Amino acid sequence: SQTIHQWPATLVQPVGSPLSLECTVEGTSNPNLYWYRQAAGRGLQLLFYSVGIGQISSEVPQNLSASRPQDRQFILSSKKLLLSDSGFYLCAWTGDSPYEQYFGPGTRLTVT
Amino acid sequence: ILNVEQSPQSLHVQEGDSTNFTCSFPSSNFYALHWYRWETAKSPEALFVMTLNGDEKKKGRISATLNTKEGYSYLYIKGSQPEDSATYLCAFIAGTYKYIFGTGTRLKVLA
């Protein structure tokens, strides 16, 4: 069966520090991968999606970036965090059916 | 800009009450609608995927209907229990890769 991992689970970082969140998927190949963020009081916002290694589409312009160095690995990064980057970050994947999306456990990021 | 709205934002009901929420979405470029149940500090759990106008899905005490022509879906919970307390999210799938989520309905069931 497929499993999706995210780490770390929680993170507290000062403004201006770098960020790296990692997501890996097991039990499937060539998944479509997604990064979402939920800011306080808001819905889930799609940040990036990837249909293959090195292929990244950005949905919202911001100071975040994403990379997909391996088939089942998706990384969310920032060179300098802003206060507004605080939120709950979720990684998700879809397989052959785009209608079924599965989420990882999430990372709670607090920028201080 | 595609917008998905859910109402109400939050809801408190007594144990045993039945309740329902609404998800409104654009009626054009429809591929599918997805309902999720999301508990705090956990990942969203898929409830239903609905693709056809008039679809009705059921899982235990929870059911959902879909009207793609007018752009809405209802989620019903019959005989609410405290363990039903969660945020219920709907996601409008506008294309192969494009999921647009509503802000969710936060349900609290009081024992």
Say yes or no for a CB contact (<8 Å) between B101 and A45.
yes
Q: Which residue of B has its CA nearest to A45?
A: B101
The burial class, CB within 10 Å (0-12 / 13-18 / 19+), for B78 is: middle
**Mean pLDDT value across residues A23-32:** 92
Q: What is the 3-state secondary structure (H, E, C) of chain A?
A: CCEEEEECCEEEECCCCCEEEEEEEECCCCCEEEEEEECCCCCEEEEEEEEECCEEEECCCCCEEEEEEECCEEEEEECCCCHHHCEEEEEEEECCCCCCEEECCCEEEEEC
pLDDT band at residue B1, thresholds of 50, 70 and 90?
Answer: low
Q: What is the mean pLDDT of residues B66-93?
A: 95
Interface test with A, best of B4, B33, B43, B96 (most A CBs within 10 A): B43
Backbone angles phi, psi at B25, to 5 degrees: -145, 165
Q: How many residues does chain B have?
A: 111
